[in-house]
Chain A
Amino acid sequence: MQSKDAIPVLELKGVSKSFGAVVALRNADLTLHAGSIHAVVGENGAGKSTLVKIMAGLYQRDTGTFEMDGHPVSFRTTAEAKAAGVAVIYQEPTLFPDLSVTENVFMGRQPTGRFGRIDKAAMRAEVVELMTRLGVRIDPDRITQGLSIADQQIIEIAKAISLDARVLIMDEPTAALSGVEVDRLFAVARSLRDEGRALMFISHRFDEVFALCDTVTVMRDGTYIDTVPTAETNVPAMVRMMVGRDVNELFPKIDVPIGEAVLEVSGLTSPGLFADISFNVRAGEIVALAGLVGAGRSEVARAVFGVDGYTEGHVRLNGVALPKGKPAAAMKAGIGFVPEDRRQQGLVLEAAIATNITDAIRDRLVSNAVITRKAENAAAQEWARALEVKAASLDTQAGTLSGGNQQKVVLAKWLATRPKLLIIDEPTRGIDVGTKSEVHRRMSELAGEGLAILMISSELPEVLGMADRVLVMHEGRLTAELSRAEATPESVMFAATHSPEEVPA
């Protein structure tokens, strides 16, 4: 590591970014030095991606300073960021699947000879040299379609090196890699550091942060928390910084008697997504499915509801096995599913509230093969009132409602089917704080009425405040089942970032 007084390659100070009323990044500082690998950690939604996108030229900052080598810069396009020597490697590599490896490395800046003709020989020679230097074997002439994520990342890195990027930002590069591939990536990262480049590494895995990085910056809720050398910190201290907030706030959880198991899932497996998932949800109980984004939580929920299939395992509702891959059967049996993306998957935005609420009970409203507006309104009225949907009338377009009210409409739609089990994916994402607690109160009341609720949430306070039991997933497997008493920010976070073998049962 270089001395602290050396001019940093890249320095952000007091950078903020808002989207409308939502503050995505608040007062962030970041200093990247040559010959150093800098980790940025934080929960989902902590503002890491926004930070990356500002450096990549995809977003423009609202406030603060941005300097490279001590000179102020401001990137308006990705091309400008690239020209200044900032290269970003995204979690999902962005390559051109129909083009060759060589073309992917050089697209947009191919070496040219006479008449602007691309010098293919020079291009290929350089790629061969780059691959040798990175110590990997990838055929430069093959198309990139079908390459593993790890190989695609290597191509992205080769691209960055051939650009002579001085700052390399890797956004969760290891999320989809196997152990061997991670080792290879780390070896490449270390050799780039030793060449004097500045690297920034975003990861959820603490072991990787400590193994690879010399400095770590922690972020939380869009706010910069602290930057410390990894040698002077440890996992518990980092977890505390990541989640360190009062989690006992505003969760009106009512204690209710817990009944019989409503949903029983055993040995559910879908190769590549999740494996050997077994759990149950009982009447009156709220069970949270916690974990990091990409851990496979939504995939499990979709499989339970029958949107996606699975290869092994069973799903039983009140003791009756559900057929796989049949959402209609799941609905009929009494499962309601509130998806994460309510605007895309939960609502018909152009349709009236009444139509949306009655969407899932259409066939019950049919009389003489027609659905009258009157029958629709009558059915909708009941649920809109019960959930206190705030709108001018039931004819109001769903798309014009606030996020919280939209969520209530989706809830009303499923409650109208009188379900026995409600699966809710990210119940309060994108909902303002005031309405959040209202949604939580509704969920609590519903559980009190004997409904079994399976809640997927990435927000720790919500998980800890609402759930009777917490199931934690890590990379497609259940790593912990914690009672309300056992669930703490540290225990959930630990289980979410470690494999089953490392989590004591």
Chain B
Amino acid sequence: MTGIQATQDRVATVSIGSRLLGLLRRRETSILAAFLIMVIATAAVSPIFVFSPDGWRNLLLNPAIYMVLAIGVAFVIITRSVDLSVGSTMGLTAFGVGSLYIAWPGMPAVVAFLVGTAFGGLLGLLNGGLVAVAKVPGMVITLGTMYVFRGANILWAGSTRINASQMGPDFLAFGNAQILGIPALTILAVVVLVIAAWYLHNIRSGRELYAIGSAPEAAELYGLPVRQRMLMSFVMSGAMAGLAGVMFAARYGTIASNAGTGYELQAIGAAVIGGVAITGGSGTVIGAAFGAILLATINSALPVLGIQSFWQRAVVGALILGAIILDRVLAVRQKRKLIAERMEP
């Protein structure tokens, strides 16, 4: 909660010491610490997890898709809604891009990215439109579209797969490219993150998303364009899922009808772990992205540590529960502290 206004407030006259303390208290810091512990522990058992070209590459590359998804979902959760359809949107977009390559083998990679993102945004528009018009909670609408999009994907793909040989070489090359030792897809995710974080922090419509999530009735009384903003947040979520779908296609080169299944819960989990309150109004996309990095790293580290996949899920679950309980405890403590301050004259 304190994350939003604690960041780089140029005018605030706070000492460096209290700033440092504020930084230490932030969710992002604790996630980073958990991430480092995870990486160090795993590297101690198996050094190639970090200290090998492949290990290094995977460490940086694995979180990229989750990051993009979590950023998109965070936009919706901040407005006190939720988008369950991002996994299906991602799968459908990935298959769509693959099919487009079959129809147009010479398609430039840039076009693939733009078309995929736009297509995802269109599916998001459908979600947002249904939520705004039907006035049904986003969870119900997107639960429906999650199955509809997946069903459409299965109907379209059947049992066929799209293989690397059917997609553009420059596209696949981008999916595996590294710039200064950093995977291109990771750089893309970070660029998206910086833009999204800047937007939510500095632009009116971005701040209005927080306002809507914080107190929907007040937002109406303020005369904020609540419907448009809700629609926009779903378009953003869909577009990010679309982008993630293109990234998926570029990275793996093989797309079946089940691509992206279960990613929606990973993305929501990442956002929640990263401090985006499911009750809306607080949290940052940076936190959500950090949550995604932690989740992705856990997913790849636990097998290295020799922990069964059954336990991996349990760990993820425990993290989500822990994050929610932590949020709740912090919120109650803060409320009590604020009220106590008020009582003292």
The interface centre, meaning the residue of A98, A118, A120, A124 with most chain B CB atoms within 10 A of its CB, is: A98
Query: CB distance A108 to B203 under 8 Å?
Result: no
In-complex Cβ contact of B12 among A117, A141, A145 (8 A): A141
Closest to A122 in B: B11
From known contacts A96-B281, A103-B207, A145-B335, infer whether A125 and B11 are also in contact, taking CB-CB under 8 Å.
yes
Which of the candidate stretches A76-84, A256-264, A296-304 sits at the interface with the other chain? A76-84
B263 CB contacts on chain A under 8 angstroms: none
- Residues 69 to 120 of chain A near chain B (Cβ within 8 Å): 77-80, 82, 90, 94-100, 103, 107-108, 110, 112, 116-118, 120
Query: CB distance B215 to A108 under 8 Å?
Result: no
Q: Is A483 an interface residue (CB 8 A)?
A: no
Query: CB distance A120 to B217 under 8 Å?
Result: no
B202 CB contacts on chain A under 8 angstroms: 117-118
Query: CB distance A141 to B5 under 8 Å?
Result: yes
Q: Is A146 an interface residue (CB 8 A)?
A: yes
In-complex Cβ contact of A116 among B204, B222, B224 (8 A): B204
Q: Cα distance A124–B218 when bound, in Å?
A: 21
Closest to B224 in A: A108
Closest to B223 in A: A79
Q: Cα distance A357–B42 when bound, in Å?
A: 65
Q: Cα distance A110–B224 when bound, in Å?
A: 12
- Residues 88 to 124 of chain B near chain A (Cβ within 8 Å): none
Closest to B216 in A: A96
- Residues 145 to 164 of chain A near chain B (Cβ within 8 Å): 145-148, 151
Query: CB distance B281 to A110 under 8 Å?
Result: no
A145 CB contacts on chain B under 8 angstroms: 334-335, 338
Q: How far is the CB of A151 from chain B (nearest CB, A)?
A: 8
From known contacts A98-B214, A120-B11, infer whether A108 and B222 are also in contact, taking CB-CB under 8 Å.
yes
Query: CB distance B342 to A147 under 8 Å?
Result: yes
Q: Is B307 an interface residue (CB 8 A)?
A: no
Q: How far is the CB of B227 from chain A (nearest CB, A)?
A: 12
- Residues 112 to 143 of chain A near chain B (Cβ within 8 Å): 112, 116-118, 120-121, 124-125, 141-143
Query: CB distance A116 to B203 under 8 Å?
Result: yes
In-complex Cβ contact of A95 among B207, B218, B334 (8 A): B218
Query: CB distance A120 to B214 under 8 Å?
Result: no
Query: CB distance B215 to A78 under 8 Å?
Result: no
Q: Cα distance A146–B2 when bound, in Å?
A: 14
Q: Is B210 an interface residue (CB 8 A)?
A: yes
In-complex Cβ contact of B207 among A110, A143, A148 (8 A): A110
A94 CB contacts on chain B under 8 angstroms: 215, 217-218, 221-222
Query: CB distance B223 to A96 under 8 Å?
Result: no
Q: How far is the CB of B103 from chain A (nearest CB, A)?
A: 38
A121 CB contacts on chain B under 8 angstroms: 10-11
A143 CB contacts on chain B under 8 angstroms: 1-2, 5
A100 CB contacts on chain B under 8 angstroms: 4-5
Q: Is B327 an interface residue (CB 8 A)?
A: no
Query: CB distance B338 to A147 under 8 Å?
Result: yes
Query: Number of residues in A with C-beta < 8 Å to the partner?
Result: 34
Q: Cα distance A371–B220 when bound, in Å?
A: 47
If over half of B's interface residues share one DSSP class (helix, strand or loop), that class is named, otherwise mixed; here it is: helix
B341 CB contacts on chain A under 8 angstroms: 146
Query: CB distance B342 to A148 under 8 Å?
Result: yes
Q: Is B239 an interface residue (CB 8 A)?
A: no
Q: Is B298 an interface residue (CB 8 A)?
A: no
Q: Is B28 an interface residue (CB 8 A)?
A: no
B338 CB contacts on chain A under 8 angstroms: 142, 145-147
From known contacts A78-B223, A108-B204, infer whether A99 and B210 are also in contact, taking CB-CB under 8 Å.
yes
Query: CB distance A118 to B204 under 8 Å?
Result: yes
Q: How far is the CB of B206 from chain A (nearest CB, A)?
A: 9
Q: Cα distance A80–B222 when bound, in Å?
A: 10
A80 CB contacts on chain B under 8 angstroms: 223
Query: CB distance B222 to A78 under 8 Å?
Result: yes
Closest to A112 in B: B204
Closest to B337 in A: A146
Q: Is B339 an interface residue (CB 8 A)?
A: yes
The interface centre, meaning the residue of A82, A95, A116, A146 with most chain B CB atoms within 10 A of its CB, is: A146
Query: CB distance B5 to A97 under 8 Å?
Result: no
Q: Cα distance A116–B223 when bound, in Å?
A: 20
B2 CB contacts on chain A under 8 angstroms: 143
A142 CB contacts on chain B under 8 angstroms: 338
Q: Cα distance A96–B213 when bound, in Å?
A: 9
Query: CB distance A96 to B10 under 8 Å?
Result: no
Q: Cα distance A112–B203 when bound, in Å?
A: 8
Query: CB distance B339 to A146 under 8 Å?
Result: yes
Query: CB distance A124 to B204 under 8 Å?
Result: no
Q: Is B83 an interface residue (CB 8 A)?
A: no
From known contacts A99-B214, A117-B202, A118-B207, infer whether A141 and B9 are also in contact, taking CB-CB under 8 Å.
yes
Q: Is B153 an interface residue (CB 8 A)?
A: no
Closest to B218 in A: A94
Q: Is B282 an interface residue (CB 8 A)?
A: yes
Q: Cα distance A145–B4 when bound, in Å?
A: 14
Q: How far is the CB of A85 from chain B (nearest CB, A)?
A: 14
- Residues 26 to 78 of chain A near chain B (Cβ within 8 Å): 58, 77-78
Q: Cα distance A151–B213 when bound, in Å?
A: 22
Q: Cα distance A147–B222 when bound, in Å?
A: 19
Q: Cα distance A151–B342 when bound, in Å?
A: 10
Closest to A113 in B: B202
From known contacts A145-B335, A146-B338, infer whether A107 and B11 are also in contact, taking CB-CB under 8 Å.
no
From known contacts A108-B223, A146-B339, infer whether A96 and B11 are also in contact, taking CB-CB under 8 Å.
no
B264 CB contacts on chain A under 8 angstroms: none
Query: CB distance B342 to A96 under 8 Å?
Result: no
Query: CB distance B9 to A107 under 8 Å?
Result: no
Q: Cα distance A429–B214 when bound, in Å?
A: 33
A107 CB contacts on chain B under 8 angstroms: 207-208, 211, 222, 224
Closest to B221 in A: A94
Closest to B78 in A: A98
Q: How far is the CB of B55 from chain A (nearest CB, A)?
A: 40
B9 CB contacts on chain A under 8 angstroms: 120, 141
- Residues 115 to 172 of chain B near chain A (Cβ within 8 Å): none
Q: How far is the CB of B81 from chain A (nearest CB, A)?
A: 15
B217 CB contacts on chain A under 8 angstroms: 94
B4 CB contacts on chain A under 8 angstroms: 98-100
Query: CB distance A120 to B10 under 8 Å?
Result: yes
Please list the 8 inter-chain residue pairs (A to B) with the smallest Cβ-Cβ separation, ordered nearest first.
A146-B338, A79-B223, A98-B281, A94-B218, A96-B214, A98-B214, A78-B223, A121-B11
5 contacts between A and B (CB under 8 A): A78-B223, A97-B281, A98-B1, A107-B222, A120-B10
Q: Interface of A with B (CB < 8 Å)?
A: 58, 77-80, 82, 90, 94-100, 103, 107-108, 110, 112, 116-118, 120-121, 124-125, 141-143, 145-148, 151
Please name 14 further chain A to chain B contacts, defined as beta carbons within 8 Å, in addition to the given A79-B223, A147-B342, sorted by A numbering. A58-B221, A80-B223, A96-B219, A99-B281, A103-B207, A108-B211, A110-B207, A112-B204, A116-B204, A120-B9, A125-B11, A145-B335, A146-B339, A146-B341
